[in-house]
Structure 1
Amino acid sequence: MTTSSPLPAALSVNAMSAPLVAQLIEHHERLRVDVTRTAGGTIIVDAGVNAAGSVDAGVLIARICMGGLGHVTRRAAFDSDPLWPTFIEVHTSHPVLACLGSQYAGWSLSATKEQTGGKKFFSLGSGPARALAGKEPLFDELGYRDRHDRGALVMEVDRLPPQVVIDKVLADCGLAPENLVIAVTPTHSVAGTVQVVARVVEVALHKTHVLGVDLSEIVDASGSAPLPPPAPDGIAAMGRTNDAILYGGRVHLTVKSDAAAKRLAAELPSLNARDYGQPFADIFKSFNYDFYQIDAALFAPAEAWVSSLESGATHRGGKLNRALIGAQWHVTQETP
């Protein structure tokens, strides 16, 4: 499907995220990330492969991922009955462009072991440089392409990209090597965990797209999800970050019509999925680690609040799954 009104071409997600990229590089020591250059001049920001990274780095990278159009913060939540003590909160007044036109991890980047001279490489690229390349059919549906002489890409992978993949990104984006910045955030790293959880609104936008609801209905979006503790390996980390959204994520969407508000409140939440109720890591393993075999309806926040501009009414659907979050993240109540 397409949006009934194309995204504003005058807004460049790469231009708007450039100041944030500059901050990431300038303050790399404080953020505990490593910054290096390839022989051609491309900047690689290691936010968790060899570098320690940090929550602050993850927040900044999440903002870069949203093309400079999103507010991302960490919030402490020590109330009387907390789901979890720390949350990531997200807000954007340009939800379709920020989330689908920039943040969505939709650009498949791979290389064979022959091309790398070692082992094969695969990553899904996210962030504003996607809109320069425009390799995904989604950009035709959105009616958006960016034009800028600098770009930033985020890769959620546990190794730095080989030169053959960097060359592909440069060619597809039409960038000079020195004008590309690639940030690498493994899922099991601190920064990687943050930037995945910060996709709580993006997941809602993508589910809206899957449901066939006109994306131009959505005029504002915010959300939150618990920030899980570090995990010992990639699969466990993937499970925790997905569980944070699927079972602990909340979104509040503002839409134009009552019909869209009612439908999204009812159909958007993850509990509509066939596989709902199991930890994501277990689901992933049961399908032999093939994302495409998992019911697509599962990839959604746990709870949706949807407000209609047409009537002023708000509709609510879904629910948080406190028991699953507590059990999977090994929460135990210590007594004296």
Structure 2
Amino acid sequence: MIRPYLCTASELNEQANEVFQEALSCHQSLRSSVHTIGGATVLDAGIGSLEKPGAVGSLRAGVMLAELCLGGLAEVQLVPASDDMVVDQAVMVSVDQPVEACLGGQYAGWPLSVGDYFAMASGPMRVLRGREEMLEHLQLTTTNQQPEVAVGVLETDQLPSEEVIAEIAKQCEVASDQVRLAIAPSTSIAGSVQVVARSVETALHKLHALDFDVRQVISATGIAPLSPPAKPGDTIDGIGRTNDAMLYGAKVTLWVDAPDDKVEAVANKVPSFSSSDYGKPFAEIFQQYDYDFYKVDPMLFSPAVVTLHSLQSGRTWRAGKLASDVLRKSFGMEC
């Protein structure tokens, strides 16, 4: 059964803005700093350094960035990790509106490039922009009112310029002072948390790539090991560790309202082990393809283990495996 979406593009941004405003109100305790750039409000949750503690970020900042990306539609928690995840902490996501939250909000589908500035952009502002084929196919860009805010997260180690803000506002069709951005690099504590919170999103995106109607996914949970931050400035290692937390350490459970034959057809294809690139730390795979994401097998970007519960028949499918050895190598663990 295909259920209607419960919120429009504008409403998704408004709900995300509530999370953003909460983060602003306690930004000092989040070890974050607030800037006004080109009229936009920008929360720096990790570009700073230990010498500038106002913007070094925190675990709680990472949780709030993840919840903001998800449009306030999901619960994100830090929980104990299992032994095979090789670290002690994991990021847990629970969501009952998975398509709107994860694909409409969280997916980093906007490679934002303005002059020499580049960032991977995610968050509900993407549905206002509406230029991604997946968003159009899933009809996630619908809005019946003029948006009041455009809210997003940038994965980058540089604050945006006024020119960048103007471009975001233009593409989202809002005024610059309606733009709300939270920023953290993958090498920061907050950046690690918000990227590792993408376990459910990667499963949904993989299902969409397999031509499964993701609107039949009713609820979902996901858990992935919280990768230790890479050395400041080592963006490739930061990207590698957070991706490996997904590919080799994430477990996702989906409740689906679909015929058994449709579920059976994709169950063994969703986990990352179905990819020809599976088996090495992502930083090595990335280097192999000259650091071009688009050359990496797109079937790789998915959780290590996926469980699907059928709401129609009561059957369950489970596929995939964790790879503790790859996680230890990726995370730079001494023993």
**TM-score, normalising length: structure 1:** 0.91
CA distance in structure 1 between the partners assigned to 2:285 and 2:305 by the alignment: 20
1:263-302 aligned at under 5 Å gives the runs 263-302=265-304
Residue 227 of structure 1 is matched in structure 2 by: 226
Partners of 1:307 and 1:314 within 8 A in 2: yes
Q: After TM superposition, give the deviation of residue 307 of structure 1 in Å.
A: 0.3
Structure 1: which 4+ aligned runs deviate by more than 6 Å?
A: none
Shift of 1:80: 6.6
Does the 8 Å contact 2:84/2:324 carry over to 1? Answer: no
- Given that 2:8 and 2:140 are in contact with CA atoms closer than 8 Å, whether structure 1 keeps it comes out as no
- What is the distance in 1 between the residues matched to 2:296 and 2:161? 30
Deviations 1:178-200 (A, max 9, x none): 22111111111111111110011
Say whether the 8 Å CA contact 2:117–2:160 is kept in structure 1: yes
Corresponding position of 2:51: none
Task: Structure 2 unaligned segments of length 5 or more: list them.
Answer: 49-54
Unaligned runs of 5+ in 1: 113-119
2:281–2:329 contact (8 Å) kept in structure 1? no
* TM-score between the two structures when normalised by the length of structure 2: 0.91
- Which residue number in structure 2 is paired with residue 140 of structure 1? 136
The one-letter code of the counterpart of 2:250 is G
How far residue 55 of structure 1 moved from its aligned partner, in angstroms, is 1.0
The question of whether the paired residues in 2 share the 8 Å contact of 1:17 and 1:67 is answered with yes
Written as runs of structure 1 = structure 2, the 5 A alignment for 1:52-201 is 52-77=56-81, 83-112=86-115, 120-145=116-141, 146=143, 147=145, 148-201=147-200
List per-residue Cα deviations over 1:150-178 (Å, max 9, x = no partner). Answer: 12111101101122121011122222322
- Is the contact between residue 256 and residue 309 of structure 2 (CA under 8 Å) also seen in structure 1? yes
Task: Tell me: CA distance 1:247–1:67, structure 2 relative to 1, closer, same or farther (3 Å).
Answer: same
SS at match of 1:155: strand
- The one of 311, 330, 333 aligned to 1:331: 333
Kindly report which structure 2 residues correspond to 1:233-244, keeping only aligned pairs within 5 A, or say none: 233-244=234-245
Q: For 1:80 and 1:228, locate their aligned partners in 2 and report how far apart those are by CA, in whole Å.
A: 14
The amino acid of 2:132's aligned partner reads E
**Does residue 245 of the first structure (1) align with residue 246 of the second (2)?**
yes
Q: Amino acid of the residue matched to residue 56 of structure 1?
A: R
**Cα shift readout 1:223-246 (whole Å, capped 9, x = no counterpart):** 000001111111111111000000
Q: Quick one: distance in 1 between partners of 2:132 and 2:3?
A: 19
Match of 1:202 in 2: 201
Secondary structure of 2:317's aligned partner: strand
CA deviations 1:119-178 (Å, max 9, x no partner) are: x11122100111112122222111122442112111101101122121011122222322
Task: Tell me the alpha carbon deviations over residues 196-223 of structure 1, each in whole angstroms, 9 at most, x when there is no partner.
Answer: 1001111111101111111222111110
For residue 115 of structure 1, what is the aligned residue in structure 2? none
Secondary structure of the 1:37 match is strand
The Cα of 1:303 is off from its aligned counterpart by 0.3
The residue identity in structure 2 corresponding to 1:101 is G
User: 1:48-67: CA deviations, max 9, x gaps?
Assistant: 11210011101001000001
The question of whether the paired residues in 1 share the 8 Å contact of 2:309 and 2:316 is answered with yes
Q: How much does 1:264 deviate?
A: 3.4
Alpha-carbon distance in structure 2 between the residues aligned to 1:159 and 1:298:
28
SS at match of 1:28: coil
Answer whether contact 2:307 2:316 (CA < 8 A) is retained.
Answer: yes
User: Is the Cα–Cα contact under 8 Å of residues 85 and 249 in structure 2 kept in the other structure?
Assistant: no
Give the aligned CA root-mean-square deviation in angstroms: 1.8
Report the Cα offset of residue 328 of structure 1. Answer: 2.4
Distance 1:9 1:82 in 2: 35
Contact 1:217 1:260 in 2 (8 A): no
How many residues are paired up? 322
Q: Is the 8 A contact 1:225 1:248 kept in 2?
A: yes
